[in-house]
Amino acid sequence: MRVLYLTPAWFGFDKFIYEGAQNVTGLPSFTYPLKALVESGVFVDMVIIYTDQPRDYNIQSDWVKKITFMHQFKYNLSLPKKIFSIFRFRRLVARLLEENDYDFVYVHGSSPSVANDIVRSFGVPLGQRLYGTFLWDKVKRNGVLKTKLKHLVEYLSFVTKKEFLLVTDDGSGADKLKNTIFPKGDEPYDFYYWKNGVSRIFIEKEYENFFINNFLPKEQFIFYCARFDAWKRQDRVLNILSFLKKVDVTIKAVFAGPFDTLGIDYYNEVVDLAKDMGVLDQCIFLGSVSKEDIYLYNKYALASLSLYDVCNVTSVFHEMMTSGALIITKDEDDVRHYISNGENGFLVNDDEECACLIESIYKRPSLFSHVREGARNTSQRLTMEWSERSQHEVELIKKYIN
């Protein structure tokens, strides 16, 4: 069985192919199912789409070495080069399908969807995987027509014919978008809206003691785990630090996540804003860290925050829950599936409300231990291990192979 992957080098997986990484970081919802597919014996060919500069491969992981990397494709984002890129990509996909006998083509993200009709013309089954969507947020603000015209490539992901469309159920509203576009339920594909899994990590006591002595801040701190991107809203943490200073609560904020996944501009904006607000000395910027360290920062933080704009039921959210973090997150419908306010986490509507809650936790942290236990229990009850969730995706692909 042979599958062709058309995909960007998602954050985390890029470290496997360019930096010789051995452990999963970044976007586990891409890497874990791919690993499961490869280890099931399926041959995977891959086209990597990039937008900046080509990089040399440095692959050390045994399972990644089993993947055949067919091509690194430069996708220009500026017009008119973007149009030329689309035609070049379509020709590349057609050539690969002519030269190779594929049982399935798996498209990841929206950019490769410009070749969906090419794949269909060869009679090869096609599935598409989206890791959430920004379109529903845009449709709510601007309407369907304006959103379609401005974001045509991503819109194509929801209207082009294929065997299935699988989207992460992360609160970003792909189900609502699909139902708005196809109110009669006549979409030209099978639609799957699946929640992420989680890796439940066991930490050796020796390493935990080493971490406490060498990495854990000596002061009380709040934890914010996200790559630096404007919609991830690290700036809100600065507002919270400022509110707390006004009531004589001075704590640290630990930020984990890469600075430059989509450029370094937003990270620089956050640093400059922290300087202007007088809280830079309270900020610790870690960059990318291991899953084990994320677990421990969640465990020992006064609170772990998720205050993103578009969606908050992300892989980070599931990692917070399984680690027994004291979670403070935006009050949203999808979050309420997991969080009962005050029982296994807290729901807030604005930064000042969040700061007041953290002040209470700071003064009486022992009163909130039951909330941490509630988060762990909820994770066990509602969230699959990635090994199980990945196997479901492998089975989904095989279901559509002729």
Question: All domains of the chain, ordered by start, with CATH?
Answer: 2-197+385-399 (3.40.50.2000), 205-382 (3.40.50.2000)
Give the helix/strand (H/E) hosting 225: strand 221-225
> C-alpha angle 26/28/32, rounded to 5°?
140
Q: Predicted confidence band at 263 (pLDDT cuts at 50, 70, 90)?
A: confident
Q: How confident is the model at residue 271 (pLDDT cuts 50, 70, 90)?
A: very high
Q: Which residues contact 292 (CB under 8 A, 6 or more apart)?
A: 201, 203, 207
pLDDT of 155 strictly over 80: yes
- Asked whether residue 48 carries a pLDDT value surpassing 90, the answer given is yes
Looking at residue 23, its pLDDT comes to 87
Task: Please count the other Cβ atoms lying within 10 Å of the Cβ belonging to residue 76.
Answer: 14
Q: Two tokens at 46?
A: 């891959």
82 vs 236, residue with greater confidence: 236
**In the predicted structure, residue 77 carries a pLDDT above the cut 80:** no
CA distance 327 to 335: 11
Find the mean pLDDT for residues 274-298.
95
Q: What is the pLDDT of residue 83?
A: 86
* pLDDT(399) > 90: yes
Q: With a cut of 90, say whether residue 80 has pLDDT above it.
A: no
The per-residue pLDDT of the chain, averaged, comes to 94
User: Alpha carbon 287 to chain centroid distance?
Assistant: 16
pLDDT tens across 330-372, in order? 999 899 999 999 999 999 999 999 999 999 999 998 899 999 9
Q: Which of 314, 352, 143 is nearest to 231 (CA)?
A: 314
Confidence of residue 260 (pLDDT cuts 50, 70, 90): confident
Residue 195 has pLDDT above 90, yes or no: yes
pLDDT of residue 238 exceeding 90:
yes
Residue of 156, 380, 309 lying closest to 329 (CA atoms): 309
Residue 75 in this model has a pLDDT that exceeds 90: no
- Between 78 and 31, the more confident residue is 31
Q: What percent of the chain has pLDDT over 90?
A: 85
What is the pLDDT at residue 136? 93
Please state, as a whole number, how many other Cβ atoms lie within 10 Å of the Cβ of residue 358.
25
pLDDT of residue 24: 84
What mean pLDDT is predicted for residues 150-174? 93
Q: How high is the pLDDT of residue 153?
A: 87
Listed in sequence order, the residues at least 6 apart from 95 whose beta carbon sits closer than 8 Å to its beta carbon are: none
Give the pLDDT confidence score for residue 76 in this predicted structure.
Answer: 81
Give the mean pLDDT of 34-53: 94
Given pLDDT bands bounded at 50, 70 and 90, which one contains residue 310? confident
At residue 78 the predicted structure's pLDDT band, cuts being 50, 70 and 90, is: confident
376: closest CA among 298, 290, 293? Answer: 298
Considering only CA atoms, which of 318, 351, 311, 314 is closest in space to residue 333? 311
Confidence check: pLDDT of 82 > 90:
no
Tell me the angle at which helices 135-142 and 152-159 cross, rounded to the nearest 10 degrees.
Answer: 110
Question: Looking at residues 162-188, what average pLDDT do you find?
Answer: 95
- Write down the pLDDT at residue 257: 92
What is the pLDDT, as a whole number, of residue 313?
92
Query: If pLDDT is split at 50, 70 and 90, which confidence band does 3 have?
Result: very high
Residue bearing the bigger pLDDT, 272 or 111: 272
Mean pLDDT along residues 296-315: 94
What distance in Å separates the CA atoms of residue 271 and residue 275, rounded to the nearest whole number? 6
Q: State the average pLDDT over residues 157-161.
A: 94
Calpha distance 232→261 (Å, rounded): 12
pLDDT at 400 over 80: yes
pLDDT at 26 over 90: no
Residues 350 and 306: their CA atoms lie apart, in Å, by 12
